[in-house]
Amino acid sequence: MAYNRINYLERVVVIQELVKKYQNTGSTLIWIYKNIVNPQFRISYSTYNNYLSIPAKKLLKEIKENMKTEMIELTEEQKQEIDSLTHEQMCFAWRFGDKKHPEWFNKTYAACDYFYNKLFVEYGGFTPEMSKQMGF
């Protein structure tokens, strides 16, 4: 649940920051909605108003703090197993999932962050060749 809630709140924060930016230049809320928010986000005016009333940054901070306290530590065994994977094996696991290792894709596990950083920071994520090889 928190994962979807985080995406929602991050979207709300982006819209709120856009509104602040344009309000500081003297634009009205309706003008900002019609010319900036609606073309980009395709939301209704009532949704827009609801987004502006949500304390999104505060809620996002609380959720992220709760996730940190609930995070399950990375074991040395998990670290070694992830380190032993090739770039191709990591891409395959990311694309199709890995039933033996669901903790690699669950954000409450430190193994998820480690796997993500290894794949996307160290290896550079998916290359076009890798995607073609896997059948994307």
For residue 43, the SS3 value is: coil
State the Cα–Cα distance between residues 30 and 86, nearest whole angstrom.
Answer: 52
Summarize pLDDT for 82-132 with one digit per residue, the tens: 899 988 888 888 888 878 888 888 777 888 888 888 888 888 888 788 888
Query: Which pLDDT does position 123 carry in this prediction?
Result: 82
State the Cα–Cα distance between residues 19 and 82, nearest whole angstrom.
Answer: 43
Summarize pLDDT for 17-51 with one digit per residue, the tens: 999 999 999 999 999 999 999 999 999 999 999 99
**Domain residue spans of the chain:** 2-70, 76-134
Query: Which pLDDT does position 133 carry in this prediction?
Result: 81
pTM attached to this predicted model? 0.52
pLDDT for 1 beyond 60: no
**9/131: higher pLDDT:** 9
Summarize pLDDT for 61-86 with one digit per residue, the tens: 888 777 766 667 888 998 899 899 98
